[in-house]
Amino acid sequence: MTLIEVGRNEKKTFRMNLLSQKYRILGKKGEGTFSEVLKCQNIKDGTYCACKKMKQTYDSLEQVNNLREIQAMKRLSPHANVIDLQEIIFDKKSGCLMLILELMDMNIYELIRGKRHYLPERKVKNYMYQLLKSVEHMHRNGIFHRDVKPENILIKEEVLKLADFGSCRSVYSKQPYTEYISTRWYRAPECLLTDGFYTYKMDMWSVGCVFFEILSLHPLFPGSNEVDQINKIHDVMGTPDPAVLNKFKKSRGMNFNFPTKKGTGIERLLPNASPDSIELIYKMCTYDPDERMTARQALKHPYFKELREAEKRTAALSKSKVEEPSPRKLNIVEPTTPEVETTQKEKKSIKDSDSDVHLIASLPKPQSLPVHHLYKSKKRRHKRMVESQHQYSSQAGLFPKVPVQNSSINPSYHTKSFPTSFSKIHNSSDMSLLPGIPSTYKTHKSTNKTSKNIFGQYQLPSLDKRGAGF
């Protein structure tokens, strides 16, 4: 968001500045008590926007930045169901302030005005779910709107956004608040019966009234004045419990009594509405604000069960698209043969080699052999090793070929004098073989008959398969 500040020496009017700098005014969208809304087009890129021109003038840039509406929109943006503040234009000379907002098609009042047929329940449910999303986001960030009504709820196709934060307050600000703040038809009882002692729960009463109006196409409590407004509420909801009225009397500082009324009930006014929707309106329009439902609780109501499930599916799908696909696991069935018995160490080695092939296969450039080819190659190497062992079994002093250089041999006895590492044997004509065990025994046999031969107690160290490349 940028801030354009027009100097005091500028002789052009505010609208001329707007036209010459960035925007072209196309028409008037609407007008309220404190502002008028213009439809504009960005000269540079041709995009459309809504220009909210304040009727009040301001003295300084600091005063503009301290406006609750601007602070609230900065804090709440970005959110899918809160109107987006794109730019602020302030003219020091005239004191005019204009907020550049995203352009929506219409508000809820314009949507239902003059309609003869009810809106589809799917559309109503979708709009109410988004409205509660915006209210929950607002309350969670410590702000309550104080003027939720159909005119301040904007829609564009299937998207709903809450707008006009000019009356908002912080939930942490000190009471009492302004008494006459929200539009009368959507004003909560605590706003009517107290001297400004109300909380963020007043927004939920207004949301309940809007919900009823979208379903029925007419307002729930259309009072002509404050007294008539209370009577309209009691005609439908009935007279509240005396304990609830005593709460209001304490903050009001005056005594008031109302004739006992049972109330017609909301279900009589909405014969075609679902039981879940009627129950939700009752909970949002509870007379006692302490017992009134919050926006977070309303979002968890059974009325929105389908939307919650669809939202979870969409979130899971988008999450799976963002995350990289995990590599496919290769399940290898190892064939068993009677000649070769697979040990646990060999299985672990084969498993590790499979995982390496799996990683290499995931790379784009290198091309590796299929896993079954690698397994057959390993089997052939093992078979050659077994044949090599049988070939030299007649020569007791020969060691089989070790394909891995400096392979480690684990002896069957502990001695530091016997070497445990052998270099790779090369096939050459001048290579001298070790003498066999019988000749060695005869050569080193002592002439002393009383001495014992050491070869009768020990055997040559056995080859560990790991030293032969396994």
Question: Any residues with CB less than 8 A from the CB of 305 and at least 6 apart, and which?
Answer: none
The verdict on whether 147 is a catalytic residue reads yes
Burial per residue of 197-228, b for 16 or more beta-carbon CB atoms within 10 angstroms, e otherwise: bbbbbbbbbbbbbbbbbbbbbebbbebeeeee
Alpha-carbon separation of residue 77 from 39, 138, 368 (angstroms): 21, 10, 52
* DSSP state letters, 382-407: HHHHHHHHHHTSSSTT-----SSTTE
- Residue 82 DSSP one-character state: B
C-alpha 146/C-alpha 61 separation (Å) is 26
Alpha-carbon separation of residue 461 from 389, 413, 432, 437 (angstroms): 14, 8, 21, 13
Residue ranges of the alpha helices (H) in 187-255? 189-193, 201-216, 226-237, 242-252
Question: Any residues with CB less than 8 A from the CB of 442 and at least 6 apart, and which?
Answer: none
Q: State the CB neighbour count (10 A cutoff) for residue 230.
A: 18
The catalytic residue among 147, 203, 290, 354 is: 147
Question: Any residues with CB less than 8 A from the CB of 26 and at least 6 apart, and which?
Answer: 38, 39, 40, 41, 48
Among residues 86, 103, 104, the alpha carbon closest in space to that of 50 is found at: 103
- Residue 11 DSSP one-character state: -
C-alpha 260/C-alpha 106 separation (Å) is 41
Mapped onto helix, strand or coil, the DSSP state of residue 143 is strand
Could you give the strand order of the β-sheet that contains 159-162, starting from the edge strand earlier in sequence? Answer: 106-107, 153-156, 159-162
Q: Is 173 left (phi over 0), alpha (psi -120 to 50) or beta?
A: beta
Mapped onto helix, strand or coil, the DSSP state of residue 298 is helix
Instruction: Answer for the pair 28, 53: CB distance below 8 angstroms, yes or no.
Output: no
Q: How many CA atoms lie less than 13 Å away from 33 in the CB half-sphere?
A: 9
Largest CA distance in the chain: 133
C-alpha 372/C-alpha 362 separation (Å) is 17
What positions carry a catalytic annotation?
A: 147
